[in-house]
A and B are shown apart, each in its own frame.
Chain A
């Protein structure tokens, strides 16, 4: 950890909310000051070929911002999803921008030029209007993360308020390190979908408190499914991202720890488990310490 890179802010300093920033502003804030350079920005006009056919107005960047720059002086690339457009859902173009950026980072890493990748997840998953292409590009994003994280940590940020759902929650789970705020949520199926498919007895999507208890940032970090809980503060999140890179590639990624998680699951009683009770089982970082950081 590079202590020199942490800014010690006086307690009375105004915090800048990260959540309130647009995706473009978030990307800018995560990169070293003055290094932000957007690729395939709005003026490149690479928009969805599929939305206009369905009477939906396109956003010129298709809701994904790709920016190069540096982090602690090292080359980096940020992929930030704009949740204001179509709920941050992934379409052919937005997904290809993210996958393509990760593929190019991989190419550079393989050539000895390490690039630090960050993904700011703010997405409901596949854009239904592009269904099979959304799903396909998410598979490509996942493939790129698995290949890339052998060379360099792949760092994910889930800030809220949309959170990270659907196929992209699998991509988040593949990341080397996940940084979340309390407002962030990480789950495979949105609460509305669970309620729709399994009934309101299974999950009441309007019970916000219960939702956050289940899949909110604090719960996910406490149960070891995410790595760092950070306040909704742009400086703090940027610092957490820098630390995540300084820590290097973990010896075992969460998604590789098969024996560990099968063991943890076997200690869970499906009939009695609660978010509180599963924390002590899943969050036990001393269990099988070889597989933990």
Chain B
């Protein structure tokens, strides 16, 4: 089991939180919440050791399109990079959906 931490610069405020996924075999859960600082931090708990470089490459790609100041926790049970990317995208979509609703409420 490994714990990995990655930091990325951020430019936009995250004002909601979201949770997606399950820690099932080949899957992961993502907890996304606002970061107090204007940066993004990702903490990965993974059951599979030795793939730090793959995590970095997946996250580098994710943050090349996402600039939210988010605290992201990933609990992973051997998901492929494709599934990781999918779950991250789902989490962002969920947060943006909630933020959108917050913006709409009177």
Contacts and interface: CB of A to CB of B under 8 A. Distances in A.
Contacts of A56: 1, 47
B22 A57 contact: no
B100 interface: no
Query: Per DSSP, are chain A's interface residues mostly helix, strand or loop, or mixed?
Result: loop
Nearest to B23: A59
Contact of B73 (A22, A60, A84): A60
Contact of B47 (A57, A60, A84): A57
A84 B19 contact: no
A57 B27 contact: no
A41 interface: yes
Interface string B69-105: 0000101110000000000000000000000000000
Interface in B1-15: 1
Interface in A1-54: 22, 41-43, 52
A82 B27 CA distance: 13
A58 B31 contact: no
Contacts of A43: 17, 19, 31, 33
Given A56-B1, A59-B75, A42 B31 contact: yes
Contact of A57 (B17, B31, B33, B45): B45
Contact of A85 (B17, B23, B31, B47): B23
Contacts of B19: 41-43, 60
A75 B73 CA distance: 33
Nearest to A47: B75
Interface of B: 1, 17, 19, 22-24, 27, 29, 31, 33, 45-47, 73, 75-77
